[in-house]
Chain A
Amino acid sequence: MALTTAPDPTRRGTGSARAHAPRGVAGRIRNSEGLAGYVFLSPWLIGLMAVTAIPMLLSLYLSFTDYDILTPFSEVEWVGFANYERMFTADPSYWHAVRVTLTFALVAVPLKLAAALGVALLLNRAWRGVGLFRSLFYLPSLLGGSVALAIVWVNMFNRDGAFNSLLAVFGIEGKPWVNDPDWALETLMVLAIWQFGAPMVIFLAGLKQVPTELYEAASVDGANRWRQFRAVTLPMLSPVIFFNLVLETINGFQGFTAAFVLSNGTGGPVDSTLMYTLNLYIKGFTDLEMGYASAMAWVFLLAIGIITAILFSTGRFWVHYSDGEDR
């Protein structure tokens, strides 16, 4: 896991020539380097302040107001927790969007990871051609987030789409999947799962790190393939599974483009594809209720933070680090 194994940046360099230099020189070098550090860091720092921190604080403030983009700042009214109250008690579409998003993430993320792991296991026997397969499977991850692919998807699962033509070959009568409130979200899930290539590549890299001796030992002990998978592959791969799970879950909550294209920006049919981010966009930029949208954004941020924290805390029970370090 990159985020936890990154070497501590505060660690001082050791054993360098500087350590033996006279105090004054060392001090001067450190000072000028400290200055240089901030010079090099300045674009990032400005960006952090102007593009991230200040907007975050602004949106926190706005979430307690009835701000719409049309009234000037001076006339903005402080409404206390009204936006949050409305969200939790008086806006059924908000909870509906939460349900849609959770359903999407709970179904699509595990299936996508399962597909990624399954194909990675199939590919994990070195022979020529692995590279080609790996690249071909990865291609959808590069293209799948685009508007173009969402358009293709909608048309494939249309009444007259390729999917129904395929079903017709087997004598099954299809339906206009993308226009059916019971099925529209499922087509988006399939689109998400179709992009299993990126986590698959990460799984493959993880599988390569599993020492061959462990399999040899297991097979000497008479473990069959399934046993080996359970007892060797899964635990050894658990940090990578965890990494992919966190990444894909956070991504899964943010699906926007495909839902927008499928519903032409409305979240339809009958709000069945009203993903959280799409709902936020509609409230903020269609209805211009930017105060309310800000409150939604903050709850979203907190929710993602909490879910990530939950994932990390459960990780302690099932993620196995082979170097024995306690994290």
Chain B
Amino acid sequence: MTSTARPAVSRPRRPRASGGGGQAVRLLVLIAIVAVVLYPLFWMIGASVKSQEEIVSNIGLLPREFTPGNYVDGWTNFDLSFGRFFLNSAMVSLLTVVGNAISCLLAAYAFARLKFRLRGMWFAVMIGTLLLPGHVLIVPQYILFRTLGLVGGEWPYLPLLIPQFLATEAFFVFLMVQFMRGIPRELDEAAKIDGASAFGIFRHVILPLSRPALVTTAIFSFIWTWNDFFRQLVFLSSLEDYTVPVALTLFIDSTSQSAVGPMFAMSVLSLLPVFLFFLAFQRMLVEGINTSGIKG
């Protein structure tokens, strides 16, 4: 009876991986969890086109009466239109992307490829700053930037942007170092034999090959900055400079309940860029936390 003996010995798959019934149950459970997890998002989108009374009375996702006017009302709810806040957020986020990409790449190249005195020590310091909570530094940073006249100054975004151009986001430095370690050293050596300097190797070997790490850095830095609230709350003080998250909290300040629909409308809009990034780069985002997180 070879046919029955065979599977037990040489079947390459785990026995428990099979079983159509179990698989179907598993799928149903997963779909149920997905429904629960996504409900708040759909509810938010639904509420953004519901009338005030429907938001509090209609538990369903779809409005009985479609109220797109919330978007118009929300857009113009304050003295300045939300367009201004979106432009401010976009500017801060995009400049942060540029700053992080450049400064972290330079630092990562030094750590990953160049030999210099105290490199090990600086690397350890960099790893140490990975775990440093940003909240610890906010008070003295505020004092320093204010003393320099940069808080509420001519261009109030400098306190938000300067750190990003100085590779202070250690997470990205670390991510890029890990990535560059995977680039074959033979390429450096070959370029060196051809007479390339450290800068030449950076320019012609490392930079072009580091594109995936740069893209990951760009995506995460955009999303994190777009969503960031704490630093923007601390450093931005006048309405015309407000970014989207800070402007959204103005809805909470206004005690009148009439603005709930518009508040939801603007909340939905505020998440739209992140959501589009998610649609476009979801694979990369998910892989990104993997490579940076554990695989190394």
Contact = CB atoms under 8 A, between A and B. Distances in A.
A44 B230 contact: no
Contact of B229 (A6, A125, A257, A297): A257
Contacts of B295: 205
Contact of B30 (A36, A122, A143, A290): A122
Interface residues of A, number: 111
Interface string B252-284: 110000001001101110110011001000110
Interface in B132-162: 132-144, 146-147, 162
A201 B296 contact: no
Interface size class for chain B?
Answer: 35 or more
Interface stretch (B63-71, B196-204, B208-216): B196-204
B26 to A, nearest CB: 6
A162 B59 contact: yes
Interface of A: 1-3, 5-10, 12-13, 16-17, 30, 32-38, 40-41, 43-48, 50-52, 54-56, 58-59, 62, 67, 69, 73, 119, 122-123, 125, 127, 131, 133-140, 142-143, 145-149, 151-153, 155-156, 158, 160-162, 165-166, 169, 194, 198, 201-202, 205-206, 212, 215-216, 219, 225, 239-240, 243, 250, 253-254, 256-257, 260-261, 264-265, 277, 280-281, 284-285, 290, 293-294, 297-298, 300-301, 304, 308
Given A55-B137, A140-B37, A215-B14, A41 B270 contact: no
B126 interface: yes
B136 A301 contact: yes
A41 to B, nearest CB: 4
Label chain B's interface by main secondary structure. helix
Interface of B: 14-17, 23, 26, 29-30, 33-34, 37-38, 40-41, 43-44, 47, 55-57, 59, 102-104, 106-107, 109-112, 114-117, 119-120, 122-123, 125-127, 129-144, 146-147, 162-163, 165-168, 173-174, 177-178, 181, 185, 189, 192-193, 197-199, 202, 223, 227, 229-230, 233-234, 244-246, 248-249, 251-253, 260, 263-264, 266-268, 270-271, 274-275, 278, 282-283, 285-286, 289-290, 292-296
Contacts of B47: 152, 155
A304 B134 CA distance: 12
A265 B120 CA distance: 42
B270 A59 contact: no
Contacts of A133: 30, 34
Nearest to B26: A122
B137 A52 contact: yes
A198 B41 contact: no
A250 B133 contact: yes
Given A147-B245, A155-B47, A135 B123 contact: no
Contacts of A37: 110, 114-116, 119, 198
A260 B229 contact: yes
Name which of B115, B117, B134 has the most chain A CB atoms within 10 A of its CB. Answer: B115
